[in-house]
Amino acid sequence: MVTVRIAAYGALRGAPGLGTTLTVAPGTTLEQALAGCGFDRATRGRTIAVAVNGDLVRGDRELAEGDAIDLLPPVSGG
């Protein structure tokens, strides 16, 4: 099994199903892991950015032991 850390920021913090760690099977992709905790693409839409170990990634990235997943909401400024 592979254990990864999840951090959600802004309005995403405290979203149902998201804890601080997640344990998945080897070979699990980011999209599969997020869907497994009820936070799939349909839920998060296309405006949420996801980073793994500080790099923005696509959902097909395989997760590895110790990866850090950051869920980043849209930002606006002015």
Domains of the chain from N-terminus onward: 2-72 (3.10.20.30)
pTM (2 decimals)?
Answer: 0.82
pLDDT in tens, 31-76: 899 888 777 666 565 578 889 999 999 889 999 999 999 988 877 6
In angstroms, the CA 27 to CA 75 distance is 31
Q: How many CA atoms lie within 13 A of 24 on its CB side?
A: 23
